[in-house]
Amino acid sequence: MAKDTPASTRNLVIYEIYVRNHGKNGTFADVETDLERIRALGVDVVWFMPIHPIGQLNKKGTLGCPYSIQNYREVNPEYGTREDFQHLIERAHTLGLKVMIDVVYNHTSHDSVLVAEHPDWYHQDEQGKPITTVPEWSDVIDLKHPNPALDEYLIETLCGWARLGVDGFRCDVASLVPVEFWLEARRRVAEVKPDVLWMAESVHSAFIEWRRQHGLSAASDSELFQAFDITYDYDIFPLWQAVVQHKQPVERYVETLRQQNSIYPNNFVKLRCVENHDQARILHLAPNRAEALAWTAFAAFNRGTFLIYGGEESSAQKTPSLFDYDKVAWGNYELSDFLRRCAALKKDTAMTQGTLFFYSAGPVLQAAWISEKESLWGAFNVNSANGEIKVPLPDGTYQDELSGLAVAVKNGTMKTPESAFIFRIPRQLEEFRPPYSDLLDYSFPA
């Protein structure tokens, strides 16, 4: 874990934006007019997918992918001017929001400004032609690390964006760039602007294995935590997706969450989400809406930073294309209140000061945040269970933080939530702290 990562990082709410498909005109100005609504969801940080000019040589789709970048130091003219983006940053800061931009330092477009100026900065074939090390990424070519001159150019670019007012960097496939580079970049950027937030798109375990088998570099999450505040959840994301589709048991996923608590630094922070620009929307992935909302609530309840992907608040089921116009269908923002309530829990004392414990994985996933002052208990119906469930709570009536409904617990049982219940409970839950076990103890105290 980066030494200067504050504990509060795990309680942040990040909102992901693809400028091209966010607003009617696909501009910075569109996003600026939407910032107050986004802030009202409980968002702390707005993350912009790449804002730079997009490569046209060997592009995918009609417009090309934002991760195929021509010039790291300019903004995409589709979106507006550099001044427009600076104004957007200033407006976000006025509203108390931080701004994060995407950093893509593993590769560039085939027609990047760097290709003609510094062909030696790239992986090359036997004929000296720049190439990608990932064949399916045909619209990009890979920068070759380490290289002191390349490092200096990239780090100074980051410093330039920090001077403009950018508050954080989400680093694309960060695992493929040397950790030593990220450590130096963090140090240098901090001299320009302290407290910049660093988030790594750490990659799937299978991808790391494949890279290493082919003599290519790939850092694990444990290595990346030296330089980053947050890493992706991709180490266990394929398993989670299988669990959502009922192809694997919930118990297995919960045990991997507990394993993260032991293999990463004590104050590690994972990005918890149910969808992003590379993954299926949760309403498409889950078997039904109730389970989708249960998993969403659990992502917010889970230990880590909570991500909302633009369109999630409108029950979007389609992941927009990266390569063409594919506007988000905003409708009436029907899930806004639900997501706002989920986000608000991240700032609850139980979650900011407490410890997360798991009680049961089935028939309903049950977990609790226990702190000295108060606790939060959650039941997440990710299996479409019916009837009543046994719970480790004193008898009484509890108010669900997600719906406001009153729910009765009698003789240690309660009705099963349609999707999820989260209760604020008195500190006496401390007596229900589950015992140490290598596996979940599915029995509750008498």
Angle, vertex CA 435, rays to CA 432 and CA 441, nearest 5: 95
Three-state SS for the chain is: CCCCCCHHHHHCEEEEECHHHHCCCCCHHHHHHHHHHHHHCCCCEEEECCCCCECCCCCCCCCCCCCCECCCCCCCCCCCCHHHHHHHHHHHHHCCCEEEEEECCCEEECCCHHHHHCHHHECECCCCCECCCCCCCCCEEEECCCCHHHHHHHHHHHHHHHHHCCCEEEECCHHHCCHHHHHHHHHHHHHHCCCCEEEECCCCHHHHHHHHHCCCCCCCHHHHCCCCCEECCCCCHHHHHHHHCCCCCHHHHHHHHHHHHHHCCCCCCEEECCCCCCCCCHHHHCCCHHHHHHHHHHHHHCCCEEEEECCHHHCCCCCCCCCCCCCCCCCCCCCHHHHHHHHHHCCCHHHHHCEEEEEECCCCEEEEEECCCCEEEEEECCCCCCCEEECCCCCEEEEECCCCCEEEEECCEEECCCCEEEEEECHHHHHHCCCCCCCCCCCCCC
pLDDT class for 425, splitting at 50, 70, 90?
Answer: confident
- What confidence score (pLDDT) does residue 2 get? 76
Q: Which tokens in the block code for residue 384? A: 């479409």
The number of C-alpha atoms within 13 Å of 155 and in the hemisphere containing its C-beta is: 21
Q: What tens digit of pLDDT does each residue of 266-313 get?
A: 999 999 999 999 999 999 999 999 999 999 999 999 999 999 999 999
Mean pLDDT estimate for the chain:
94
Mean pLDDT of the 44-72 span: 98
pLDDT greater at residue 3 or residue 101: 101
Mean pLDDT of the 425-439 span: 66
Q: What tens digit of pLDDT does each residue of 185-232 get?
A: 999 999 999 999 999 999 999 999 999 999 998 999 999 999 999 999
Q: What tens digit of pLDDT does each residue of 81-92 get?
A: 999 999 999 999
- What confidence score (pLDDT) does residue 446 get? 41
Q: What tens digit of pLDDT does each residue of 124-152 get?
A: 999 999 999 999 999 999 999 999 999 99
- What confidence score (pLDDT) does residue 298 get? 98
Reported pTM: 0.96
Residue 443 has pLDDT above 80, yes or no: no
Q: What tens digit of pLDDT does each residue of 163-193 get?
A: 999 999 999 999 999 999 999 999 999 999 9
Angle, vertex CA 246, rays to CA 412 and CA 260, nearest 5: 75
Closest C-alpha to 381, from 298, 262, 267, 259: 298
For the chain, what percent of residues have pLDDT higher than 90? 90
Q: Which tokens in the block code for residue 145? A: 């690390």
What's the rounded Cα separation, in Å, for the pair 116 and 162? 27
pLDDT class for 428, splitting at 50, 70, 90?
Answer: low
Q: Which residues contact 36 (CB under 8 A, 6 or more apart)?
A: 95
Beta strands 406-409; 355-360: pairing state = unpaired
- What confidence score (pLDDT) does residue 5 get? 86
pLDDT greater at residue 431 or residue 129: 129
- What confidence score (pLDDT) does residue 373 get? 82
Map out the domains of the chain with their CATH numbers.
7-347 (3.20.20.80), 355-432 (2.60.40.1180)
Q: What tens digit of pLDDT does each residue of 362-379 get?
A: 899 999 999 888 899 999
Q: What tens digit of pLDDT does each residue of 339-350 get?
A: 999 999 999 999
Q: Which tokens in the block code for residue 116? A: 């003609």
